[in-house]
Amino acid sequence: MNISAHLFAAFLPNRYIYPMETAYITTPLGTARITGDANGISEISILTEGNLSEKIPATLKEPAQQLQEYFDGNRTQFDFKINPQGTDFQQKVWQELLQIPFGKTVSYMDITKKLGDVKAIRAVASANGKNPLWIVVPCHRVIGTDGSLTGYAGGLWRKKWLLEHESPTAQQSLF
């Protein structure tokens, strides 16, 4: 690493110092963009359209494979290294999201209570909406206190699809 890159990393300790790689894969919900480096996957997002990767970089092969297994119904947990970037509060919320089991849902209020401040419900909802790791950090499993589907950056139709995909019993429709 040259001296300017070293200084840049020193002033921005939460930023990336390895070259980021990106892959685009197809899913039933659109094209997924996976971005990461040797430190882990920093972003998985869903796009309406996009060009698929002809070759997936080595650092992204395992996440791409695990996402495919998830959509094929053969995976309920992810075990590749993640490295999402966010504030300390966002990181705490995302850690709580990782505790939600496959096939289960919790409310924003449930997460707020676990974090110890029921007045932080809007901040929890905001952090949930800024989750950079689609599906892997399961923000889609968070619903309204009354059981309703609420905001989802990928669109409510995708949230509904994901919850039905994870439902332990085949149903006509959960929502």
Distance CA(95)–CA(123), nearest Å, equals 15
CATH class for the domain made up of 3-71: alpha beta
Catalytic residue among 111, 139, 143, 163: 139
Which residue ranges make up each domain of the chain?
3-71, 88-166
Q: What is the mean pLDDT of the chain?
A: 87
**Could you report the per-residue pLDDT of 52-66, keeping only the tens digit for each?**
999 999 999 999 999
Q: What percent of the chain has pLDDT over 90?
A: 78
Q: Which amino acid is present at 174?
A: L
Global pTM reads 0.83
According to CATH, the topology of domain 88-166 is Arc Repressor Mutant, subunit A (1.10.10)
Residue 41: enclosing H or E segment and its boundaries? strand 40-47
- Number of C-beta neighbours around residue 88 at 10 A: 6
Q: Is residue 49 scored above 90 in pLDDT?
A: no
Phi, psi of 37 (to 5 degrees): -150, -165
Distance CA(91)–CA(123), nearest Å, equals 12
Band (154; pLDDT cuts 50, 70, 90): confident
Q: For residue 36, what pLDDT is reported?
A: 97
Q: Is residue 121 scored above 60 in pLDDT?
A: yes
Distance CA(115)–CA(105), nearest Å, equals 17
**Could you report the per-residue pLDDT of 2-48, keeping only the tens digit for each?**
332 333 333 344 555 668 999 999 999 999 999 999 999 999 999 98
Q: Pick from 70, 66, 100, 102: which is nearest to 82 by CA?
A: 66
**Could you report the per-residue pLDDT of 65-91, keeping only the tens digit for each?**
999 999 999 999 999 999 999 999 999
Catalytic status, residue 139? yes
